[in-house]
Chains A and B, each alone.
Chain A
């Protein structure tokens, strides 16, 4: 069964350092999402791609976060510099076309701890 891949699974970094997360969606899925999930809360959308284009990054802290999906396949989310408040689970998800009834398939997530 096809799955969304993410790496690393865990990341510990010091504040002010740079950190990057990688996501490989299910093959053929045009829509890719990055979510941040703070402990005890629901996922919050950071950025949504349709193919290689960003279609929603309204909640992305653009002074320190960046995301790219250069060839419309895999994607990288970067934080520079990391802050203590960035400690969270970062989830990547994909869906076929991002249509109303489509299910989002999630990867295992990356747990980030900023010290």
Chain B
């Protein structure tokens, strides 16, 4: 069974600094996808970035990048130049190729950006 672990319940970062949010995963499937979502206090889940298990390069989307270390089964999200609007919950999620490709979410990390 697939499992996602986010060990940081809460993080603080100074505005304009970079921050890394940790995510480790467990799956026996060689083919899988990893996602990061942002959830502001309003509740909607916003897609940030995707990394496929066979992708050779780490994914980047604007200020978001994914530090993918396949052997360590980690997929950490790096946010550069933090902004006040980055304050939110961040969820790591995984989908593997088994069955109907169910998505499993971690417990989330609450990020607070300090002015």
Contact = CB atoms under 8 A, between A and B. Distances in A.
Contacts of B64: none
Contact of A100 (B4, B32, B46, B91): B32
B37 to A, nearest CB: 8
Interface in B14-41: 31-33, 35, 37
A13 to B, nearest CB: 18
B62 to A, nearest CB: 15
Nearest to B100: A55
B8 interface: no
Contacts of A40: 107-108
Interface string B92-105: 01011101111111
A108 B31 contact: no
Interface in B65-115: 91, 93, 95-97, 99-108
Given A41-B108, A42-B108, A56-B100, A109 B33 contact: no
A44 interface: yes
A104 to B, nearest CB: 6
A98 B42 contact: no
A99 B91 contact: no
Interface of A: 33, 40-45, 48, 50, 55-56, 89, 91, 93, 98-101, 103-109, 111
Interface of B: 4, 31-33, 35, 37, 42-47, 50, 52, 91, 93, 95-97, 99-108
